[in-house]
């Protein structure tokens, strides 16, 4: 992954990638996100490339385009593998959900209409331009056309128009974003147009950098500070993350080697469809596709991470490590869900259920609605096995 202010000043930010395909920039928190179809992963790095981590590395087949919503803390991506789908997850890797999994074959480019809370995508096998809301509902087919959607690849939205590139026609088209009507050719005689980006304050609206709003730089995190998904009014604004091979310590800010966590997965499978006659989509090796970039070129399984609420600064913030990054958190819950992380002494109303836990012990947990089931998972290597358990509590 490279950046450049002009063609003569290209700088390599991230190397040792396999097959990077999609690229998105978090223009608020200054991080970059990308998909890699070679090692089947989705990763994040700081804008200078010095700190990075793998966010998602399971149940990915052919991840391609990626887009981010820094306001609400979600990222979205397409996957054109055997179980083709469009998914979303928090920008810290948690709360993974499948948005589209039926009547989809080769989803290539995706783009977000943040103002109207919709996601658009093109399918190059079905020759479709479609949209869905950001919860996966209210799906619409805007355009079905072999002529205008021969092999659509990238797309974007601006004001009342949606724009896309077509590798077969080597052209750029546009249409009305609501109806799919009034199709027009914007540019032609191009050479393999792989991406399309609009730079405008409507496309990259301003928002507060939640990792640098208080007195603690980088949210008090030793390594990465990542925007957390805003699911409820009580959702944490950000979470800390550590390099690959390391885990967050008890203060949930500093990193340590050899930490272990309890992981649970609840993964409803997308509808199974027969694809015995599937044709292999041509790989794209000329360049990585970038989606919603601002200054850089180039349900489901719930991943896990422990959110923070009312962060408290550790006594000291250690210097960053040189290792690459990956953090696995400790709790998973089904929709709808509410995340909290509180010192035990703030849980007076529920102390009767946690009497065996030591005071002042930081503990992640999730309420799972509607059953009000409370899962408790130990987050330090010194926790005895008895501290990892589930307790049924009365409805609130």
All domains of the chain, ordered by start, with CATH?
Answer: 2-202 (2.120.10.30), 217-257 (2.10.25.10)
Listed in sequence order, the residues at least 6 apart from 130 whose beta carbon sits closer than 8 Å to its beta carbon are 120, 121, 122, 123, 139, 140, 141, 142
**Residues 191-209: tens digit of each pLDDT:** 999 999 999 998 999 999 9
Q: What pLDDT sits at residue 41? A: 96
C-alpha 178/C-alpha 233 separation (Å) is 31
Q: What pLDDT sits at residue 90? A: 97
Sheet holding 63-69, edge to edge: 63-69, 74-79, 85-90, 97-100
- The stretches in the chain having pLDDT less than 50 are 259-279, 285-396
Q: What pLDDT sits at residue 215? A: 86
Q: What pLDDT sits at residue 8? A: 80
- In the block, tokens 């804008």 appear at 47
pTM score, two decimals? 0.69
Region at 108 (left for phi over 0; alpha for psi -120 to 50; beta for the rest): alpha
**Residues 9-35: tens digit of each pLDDT:** 889 999 989 999 999 999 999 999 999
Q: What pLDDT sits at residue 57? A: 95
C-alpha 68/C-alpha 309 separation (Å) is 23
Q: What pLDDT sits at residue 245? A: 86
Q: What pLDDT sits at residue 236? A: 93
C-alpha 180/C-alpha 223 separation (Å) is 45
Q: What pLDDT sits at residue 282? A: 54
| Cβ–Cβ under 8 Å, residues 91 and 236 | no
């Amino acid at each position: 992954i490279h950046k450049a202010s002009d063609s003569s000043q290209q700088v390599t930010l991230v190397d040792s990638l396999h097959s990077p395909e999609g690229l998105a920039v978090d223009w608020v928190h200054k991080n970059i996100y990308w998909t890699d179809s070679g090692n089947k992963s989705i990763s994040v790095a700081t804008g200078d490339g010095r700190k990075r981590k793998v966010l998602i590395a399971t149940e990915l087949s052919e991840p391609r385009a990626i887009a981010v919503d820094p306001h609400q803390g979600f990222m979205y991506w397409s996957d054109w593998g055997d179980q083709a789908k469009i998914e979303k997850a928090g920008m810290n890797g948690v709360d993974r959900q499948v948005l589209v999994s039926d009547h989809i074959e080769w989803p290539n480019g995706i783009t977000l209409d943040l103002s109207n809370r919709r996601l658009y995508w093109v399918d190059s096998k079905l020759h479709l331009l479609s949209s869905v809301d950001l919860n996966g509902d209210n799906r619409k087919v805007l355009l079905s056309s072999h002529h205008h959607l021969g092999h659509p690849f990238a797309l974007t939205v601006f004001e009342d128009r949606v724009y896309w590139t077509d590798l077969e026609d080597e052209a750029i088209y546009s249409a009305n974003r609501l109806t799919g009507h009034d199709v027009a050719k914007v540019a032609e005689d191009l050479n393999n147009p792989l991406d399309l980006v609009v730079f405008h304050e409507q496309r990259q609206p301003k928002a507060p950098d939640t990792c640098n709003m208080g007195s603690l730089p980088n949210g008090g995190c030793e390594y990465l500070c990542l925007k957390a998904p805003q699911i409820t009014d009580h959702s944490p604004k950000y979470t800390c993350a550590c390099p690959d091979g390391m885990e967050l310590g008890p203060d949930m800010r500093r990193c340590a080697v050899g930490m272990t966590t309890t992981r649970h997965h609840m993964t409803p499978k997308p509808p199974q469809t027969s694809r015995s006659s599937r044709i292999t989509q041509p790989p794209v090796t000329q360049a990585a596709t970038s989606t919603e970039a601002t200054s850089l070129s180039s349900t489901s399984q719930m991943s896990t991470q422990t959110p923070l609420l009312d962060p408290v600064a550790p006594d000291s913030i250690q210097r960053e490590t040189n290792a690459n990054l990956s953090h696995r958190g400790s709790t998973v819950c089904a929709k709808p869900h509410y995340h909290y992380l509180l010192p035990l002494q703030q849980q007076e109303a529920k102390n009767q259920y946690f009497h065996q836990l030591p005071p002042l012990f930081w503990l992640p947990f999730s309420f799972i609605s509607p059953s009000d089931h409370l899962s408790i998972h130990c987050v330090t290597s010194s926790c005895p096995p008895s501290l990892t358990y589930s307790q049924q509590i009365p409805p609130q």
